[in-house]
Amino acid sequence: MNLSGLIHFFLFPGILFAVPAGWFYMWGERKAVARMQRRIGLPLLQPFYDFVKLLGKRTPSRHGIEADLLRLWPALSVLSMLGAIAMLPVFHDGKGFSGDAVLLVAFLEMPSICFILAGFTSGSIYGEIGAIREAILSVANNLVFLLSIVTIAVTENTFRLSDLSGGTWNPGHWIGVFGILLCIPAKLRLNPFSTSSAEQEIYSGPLTEYAGAALAMWELAHGLEWVALTGFVTTLVVPAGGPWWFHAIAFFVVSFIQVMLLSTVAAATARFTLQRAIRFYWQWAAILAVLVICSTIYMRVR
């Protein structure tokens, strides 16, 4: 078990896979947007070049606890995403522990929490506005996100990730997956849910005061968020069984299809106002999620 955990964390789907995949997914995101706007777009290695370039830039001098906290938040985001990716049951090998889906959700929420804290730590009015928007939107979409995961867990009668993974014919499972997909754009701050980092209004929101290596870590965390969130959905839909190489290829291909789909939707939509984004999740998606989970529980107790 210890050896398996090390392989999952360092090899696949861990660091050696997740970091290059994150850069590749960010390239896919920006390339899809460029093609939708009839532009050529960036070269394949541009996200990696941007990361290296930011690492070499000097960071504005700050002192005291504020400087330490500004470096801490992106580092925590990267580490939490690596932990979440390592937990994904890519190979359906039955390992894990009871309730590990709860820990996965905690890891997936850490970047949003750190993003909010970074905005308030920055001392910038734009950072604080972005942090407030992110906090409000996070509360709105997390209701749907958690209800979707609970729906899948109730359907399978477990919170063990290895038991939740693999596509089934149960409608509750697939509706839960659809609910998770609805929440991914908000968690990745994509259009139409990019209110917390709206460049035309508040520059880069919580990241306005970031530069250099700390900003590079935020970019890396964003790429890892792509891998973790799309990978989570992939493990829920790819059928169990088959050779290990099939699951490895399917994990990458299905995840990248989600990247292209969500990026295309982001390029084709305008940014929602904060009120409209909240109304979308609480007035429509949350009602659907509540009805689905109630019907699922009803079917189980009959």
CA–CA distances in Å: residue 205 to residues 65, 82, 197, 291: 21, 24, 5, 35
The C-alpha angle 146, 151, 155, rounded to 5 degrees, equals 150
Q: H-type helices in the chain, by residue range?
A: 2-10, 15-36, 46-56, 65-87, 100-121, 125-156, 161-164, 171-187, 199-202, 212-237, 244-268, 274-279, 286-301
For residue 299 the two structure tokens come to: 């079917």
Whole-structure pTM value: 0.91
In this prediction, what percent of the chain has a pLDDT beyond 70?
A: 94
Which of 205, 190, 226 is closest to 115 using CA atoms? 205
DSSP state of 157: T
Residue 161, by phi and psi: left (phi above 0), alpha (psi -120 to 50) or beta? alpha
The Cα–Cα gap between 176 and 124 comes to 38
pLDDT tens, residue by residue, 107-162: 999 999 999 999 999 888 988 998 999 999 998 888 889 888 888 888 888 888 88
Residue spans of the domains in the chain: they are 2-301
Output the pLDDT for position 98. Answer: 66
Using CA atoms, how far apart are residues 38 and 144, in angstroms rounded to an integer? 34
Among 52-61, 65-74, 161-170, 199-208, top mean pLDDT goes to 65-74
Average pLDDT, the chain: 87
pLDDT of residue 302: 60
Which of the pair, 213 or 94, is modelled with greater confidence? 213
Q: Which two tokens stand for residue 251?
A: 């994990």
What confidence category does residue 300 fall into, taking pLDDT thresholds of 50, 70 and 90? low
Q: What angle do CA 206, 208, 213 make, to 5 degrees?
A: 100
**Range with the largest mean pLDDT of 92-101, 113-122, 275-284:** 113-122
What whole-number distance in Å separates Cα of residue 288 and Cα of residue 293? 9
